Amino acid sequence: TATVPGKGKKCSLCTKILEQIKAMAGDNPDEAAVEAALGKACRALGKRLGRLCKRLVRKYREQISEALQNGDEPQDTCVTIGFCKA
C-alpha cells in the first residue's frame, strides 16, 4: 500500500476503509444503505484491515454515516475524525 507522503499510515488506512464503504454504499446513500455498507465493507477488506475497519466504524459510526449521506470525500471524513491532518 502506497501511503501519501505527509499523511501517515493511519490516514491512508482510514481513507482506504472509507473509500471501500463509500463504494459499497453507492451514490446518494440513505441511512439503510450506509448501515449495510458499513458491515459489508469491513468484511470485504480482509482480516487485518477488517479489524481496524470494525473499530473505526464502532467508534465513529455517526460521523461516517453522516459524511457518506452528505457525499463528503473519504479523506475529509478522516480529517474530521482525526486520522488525517488537514
Q: With bands split at pLDDT 50, 70 and 90, how would you rate the model's confidence at 28? A: confident
- Alpha-carbon distance of 14 to 78, in angstroms, equals 6
To 10 degrees, what angle do helices 47-70 and 31-44 make?
160
In three-state secondary structure terms, 73 is coil
Rounded to two decimals, the pTM is: 0.83
Those residues with Cβ within 8 angstroms of residue 33's Cβ, 6 or more apart along the chain or in another chain: 25, 26
Q: At residue 3, does pLDDT exceed 70?
A: no
Arithmetic mean of pLDDT over the chain:
89
The string of pLDDT tens digits covering residues 41-62 is 999 999 988 999 999 999 999 9
Domain annotation for the chain: domains and CATH numbers: 9-81 (1.10.225.10)
Lowest mean pLDDT among 1-15, 22-36, 45-59: 1-15
